[in-house]
Structures are given as C-alpha cells and as structure tokens.
Structure 1
C-alpha cells in the first residue's frame, strides 16, 4: 500500500482532501457493496492524499488537525461510503495509543512510516474468546526471538495494510501491542468478512503462525493505566462521526427518492412530497440529524479544549467520555432511523436492487453494533446520578 504521500499541514487541506477522496469513493460505491469488491484504489487514494497522517503531532511532522476537523473528515468519507469512513479508524486509534505509550524512538519510527505513505491496520479482537477484550494470541520467546501465534478477527483494513497492529499476551502475563510488517512470514490475511453491512471493510481473519517480530515494536499496554488520557473518547468519537455520515447519506437519498415516489391516494395530492404526514416525518428526521451533528461537534470541541491543557485530570476525562457517549446515542439513532425511514417514505420502488438504498440501513445496523448504546445510557445515568466516572478504555 506504500505510496508517495502528500503531506497535509493544516485543517483546511485535510477537509479539502476528504472531499476529493469522497467524490472518488462515491463513483463505484454501489458496485463494491453489491459485489463485495474491496476498495483498494480508494484507500490508496486516501493514503496518497495524506489523510491517514492528519492527527500525527506537528513535532513529528504531522498536521495534528483538531478533533473538529478529524470528525468532519470522517463524516465526509462515511457519507460517500461508510466503509471508507470506517477503514482508517483503527489507524487513528493505534497511533493515538502509540503516542501515549511509545518511547521517542518508537514514535518517530512509526509516525515516519505513516508520513511516508504506509497504511496501518489492526489484527482485531478475537472471535471465540469470552469477550472482546480477552486476548488469546500469544507472544513467546524462542531461541532469542519474539514469536506471535494466534487468530484475529474483526481486522478492519487488514487487506490494505503495510503494518498490522496485534494485541497479544506477553510471557510475563500482560497485554502488549505489537506492530509487524504484513508481509512477514507466517501472516495470512483472509478476506472472509461476510456481514450484511459494511461489506467491504476487510474486517475478517488474520492468522499468525510462528511470526517473528521485532522487539523494538513491542508496546506495553500497562502504561495506559499509568497515565490520565482520553483515549476512549477519542476512539469513540470516530465511531460517532461514521454513524453521522451514514445518517447524512441516508437523509440525502431520502430527499431525492421521496420526490420520485407516488403519493397515497387518500392524500389527494399530486406528489408524495406534498403529503402532509410525510412532510412531518421528514421534519422530524431533519431535527434528529441536526441534533446528532451538533452533539458530535460539541463532543469534538470538548476534546479540543482538553487537548490544549498541559495536564488533564480524571474529572475532565470523564466529561469527555460523557460528551462523546451522548453524541454516540444520537448518532446511533439517527443512522438507524433515517436509513429505515428512507425506504418507508420513498415507497416500494425504493426497495429495488438497482437503487441499493438498503445499504445505508445495513451499514448503520452493522456499524452500530460497535460498543452498544445500552451501556452508554448506563454510563450517563451513573455519571449524573451517582457521580461515577466511566472506565478508561477504548469502549467509552
């Protein structure tokens, strides 16, 4: 995937680049979705435009764009193709973790790789463990070499990767994050992701068999517990932006296709767009969408304010997580509701395969399975009622 990459050095350039990639992504989105064709050319374009490096700190050569800009970039991409919005999310999350726990030499190396056009994806959570945080993959030491063994799933973007980020159990009993060149002997990336939505994210299996890794690229995740950070809110706000982008795409298609629908006879109007009850429904959906955008923007502003502080405290981290959780709840509702109402209000012909309008609901339904909102409601209630802070992890 490595290509000569444009270096983005400001927020405006990042947003402009996102629109260019979005236009390209939209061209064959329906074909890719219906035939499960991986968007390799789109991801190459995204990397060439420099979008994967926009959150790298300025001291390492990146643009270090604001969270406001990052979420706008993700929204733009996800509106064009929800898969393209999701594919780089793990790279942003992994780079953020490395910023928190890596030493200077490690950070300089990894960030330079990304700035040079390398793409980083994850070997994701594991399919058959008791929960998504349990790691069965092992890092062992044999004959003086560090060796990875295990099977990963939900490995979003793995087919496009130059580097894979793998979580594994260290021999001393703690979890480490390991970066490994995807072409290393013993790595097999299997494109077996067959979910009904987010079909082209390459979120399938990564098999690791006696994979020898460089000890320089082992990161001790215990360090995350020793620092005060808003990694969880940062990770989650990208998920929110993807859902808002899906909602925006569905709403845009709704406005187009409602005008092609036939009105119900009882309405006594010439066009469906003149039906009183339908007009009211569209108004409700607009309010839902605008509320989700505003909550996302406010959450991004909270993170931007927090990032400007020299030191942050637990209270501020909790405020960030709560702001993002509130945004996630509305984005979840907007993506699912608007994509479902798109079909209802546009009528029977909108269900025809040639329009592929069901992709928005399918994408929304699959993507919103990340970090279920029922636990967001719990976090909010426990915070406001009992003054309990959410846990510091990537799911809140």
Structure 2
C-alpha cells in the first residue's frame, strides 16, 4: 500500500526526539532476482512509483515506509548475495545503475540501501561460512540491515568509542551512534564496536533488541527522509554467532570501493533528476530572456548550450560510474594490490565527476529555469539540498589528491569505507 493510499493520518514524520518502534519483519519472503537484466527492470518499475510522491515526502517529512517495504520485497536488496548462496551476484556496474535509477526518483530512498549493500559485501569478505549461510539467507528473505557505525562526537569518522565485552556465549555492547541511515526502518542493525584490545567488529543486533533505542532526530536540510538519526546502545546482548570481525581493510579488498560506488551512483541520480526538472521547467514554464529575441525559453542559445554542457558532464560521470563497477568486479574476482587499487582509483574518479555534476546541475536548474522555479510550490530546491548534503559524505578534494598521488608518486590510496 502506498503512502498516498494510506492517507496522511497514517504517515510517520521525521525529526522527533521520541524513540521509533521497530517495524515488523516481512510476512512473506522477498522475491529473488536472478539476473542483471531483471535487477534493472525491477529498479525502473519501482522508480516510477517512488517518484510520484518524492517531493511530498521531502516537503512534509514523511518516512518512506511503504516504499522501502516494496523496495526490499522486490528482491533488489539481495542482488549482491553471491550465487553460491542463492543470490544473483550481479555486477557492480549493475548495482550502480540500479541505485542511480532509484536516486533519480528519490535519492533518500536510494541512500537507505547504501549501508545494507556495503554490509552484504562485508559478510562475503569477513564472515565465517556458517555466518554467510545464515545472514545471506536472511537478506534473501527480505530482511533489511540498517547501520550503527558513525559517532557524532568522536575524533574522526573512523574513531569508534562504542565498546563490546564478552559475556557467556555472546557479547554486551554499549555506546551511542549518529548518522544511522536506514536504522529506523531496518530489521537488523549492525553495530560497529571495539573490544578491549581495540579490534573492531560488526555486531548484528536485532532492531527490537532490549537496550537498542533508535531516535528519529535527523534534522539536515537535505536527504531528509533517509531514516537517519541517532541510536542509544545500552547493554545490548547479541549472540557470538552474530559477531563478524571488521578485517576487510587489513588486506586488499574492494570493500571501500563498493561503499563508495553506491554513494557515487546516488549523486549521479540526483544530477539526472535535476537536469530532467530543468528541461521540463524551461520547456513549459520559463520565459525567454528579453534580449534573446526568442519566442520560448527553450530557444535561448545560452540556455541550450548550458543544458548541453550539463548533459555531457552527466554522461561522462555515468561512463566513469560503469567503469568503476567493472573494476570492482575485477577486484572481487582476483583481489590483490593491483586490482584493488585500480578499483579504488576508478571509483574515486567516478565520485569526483558525479559530485561535481550533481552540484552543478542542481544549482544551474534555478539559473536556467528562472525566478519562478524557486517558488515553494515546486519544491525544486530539494535537489540542491539533497546534492549538497549527500556529497558531504566524503570530500572529493581528497579524491583528487589520492588519484594524483598515485599517478605522480606511485603511492596507493588508503583502504577504508570513505575512499
């Protein structure tokens, strides 16, 4: 049932200090997608529906609960589960295209998937065989992973103060988290915590576990309905079977590039949406500039050229996005310093272009469409707000540095989720 069918009285708003209750697990198993082509087809179908109320959800702060249920039940949350465990194991070029398609419709919904997909990759890289069977099985049933990674007050993004201690046949976790994208609507919330020796783990806690409190207090001006916010973790008990070491960055793996390509795809989708909105508004609502001598705004030569430049920059970004996906596939097939570095650098290049075209396109929208495009009734500023907010996730100024440092000095880029 869509939010429109449900009616406004049943919708849940974002930005509240009250704890957000866990959603029920799916009553029916999710569809299992079998091929890359099917994944693209399903993404396009879902995107058409997600786009309908994207502006309303942004303006009113409605959480996309029904949309995310449809999304995970569609099978798209399981497309990276390896074929050996029952999934489609699609190409990361396909993953990027799926996310790009969905982000063009609603970038908040697309971002909700980001951590889930990164976690599926970590399970493949770091979990035991028994854990893979169990956790991949849950994913294919339609279980959603959220995240409890970042900490608002720590020294930097990779400094974790959340602690776990061994107790009996499990662990007890305590700490606080922020930027917990997707956790509100998740069924399982993997928590990054460190033990007394400083070793990091992913602790897969049930969303309704006693002591785990998710608060819907995300107040950014952009990506407003990403189901982000804060989490209190107070003596949360998790069995040892749900404890997966964070080891993928201690050796050459594509883990960082996988996390980054999803971010890049979101920005490409935002750019595509902004360009489409620009074209539609200029064609139907904008007036030609007085000095152009043209009958319609779409004939203004400066506007025509500006749209052409944006489209070319978007196509270049999309080409690098696909290239990065292929490089990640190569790194997964034969992981070593060479393939992983190529994947990391290719994804960094992609992230630079998608960031820049997202910012340019969402800004240029108003310049080309004119003053009337800023009216609140159109809510077109959501594209700029989303682009400006999402592209802050990891600064592209460092992407330039790492790419240049490799080509000039032969220094490989660092391996972590933000690069």
* Alignment check: 8 A CA contact 2:253 2:331 kept: no
RMSD: 1.2
Q: Which runs of 4+ in 1 moved over 6 A?
A: none
Q: Within 1, Cα distance between the matches of 2:317 and 2:287?
A: 30
Instruction: Quote the residue 1:151 is aligned against.
Output: 176
Q: 1:297 aligns with which of 322, 325, 336?
A: 322
Question: Secondary structure at the residue paired with 1:69?
Answer: helix
Q: 1:162 aligns with which of 172, 187, 190?
A: 187
Deviation at 1:109?
Answer: 0.5
Alignment of 1:1-396 (within 5 A): 1-3=24-26, 4=28, 5-142=30-167, 146-221=171-246, 223-259=247-283, 260-309=285-334, 312-396=335-419
Q: Cα deviations across residues 196-249 of structure 1 (Å, max 9, x unaligned)?
A: 00000011001111111111111122x324532111111111111110011000
Q: Cα deviations across residues 9-29 of structure 1 (Å, max 9, x unaligned)?
A: 111111111112111211211
Deviation at 1:2?
Answer: 2.6
Specify every segment of 5 or more residues in structure 1 that has no aligned partner in the other structure, as ranges: none
- TM-score (normalizing by structure 2): 0.92
Q: Within 2, Cα distance between the matches of 1:124 and 1:369?
A: 17
Specify every segment of 5 or more residues in structure 2 that has no aligned partner in the other structure, as ranges: 1-23
How many residue pairs get matched?
393
Q: Within 2, Cα distance between the matches of 1:244 and 1:225?
A: 26
Q: Within 1, Cα distance between the matches of 2:338 and 2:133?
A: 31
Q: Within 2, Cα distance between the matches of 1:369 and 1:278?
A: 29
Q: Within 2, Cα distance between the matches of 1:149 and 1:21?
A: 38
Q: Cα deviations across residues 108-141 of structure 1 (Å, max 9, x unaligned)?
A: 1100011111111101300000101000111123
Q: Within 1, Cα distance between the matches of 2:258 and 2:398?
A: 17
Instruction: Quote the residue 2:15 is aligned against.
Output: none
* Alignment check: 8 A CA contact 1:2 1:116 kept: no
Question: Secondary structure at the residue paired with 1:261?
Answer: coil
C-alpha change, 1:390 and 1:365, in structure 2 (3 Å) is: same
Q: Within 1, Cα distance between the matches of 2:167 and 2:248?
A: 27
Q: Within 2, Cα distance between the matches of 1:228 and 1:191?
A: 36
Instruction: Quote the residue 2:13 is aligned against.
Output: none
Instruction: Quote the residue 2:21 is aligned against.
Output: none
Q: Within 1, Cα distance between the matches of 2:332 and 2:166?
A: 38
Q: Within 2, Cα distance between the matches of 1:124 and 1:347?
A: 41
Q: Within 2, Cα distance between the matches of 1:313 and 1:115?
A: 29
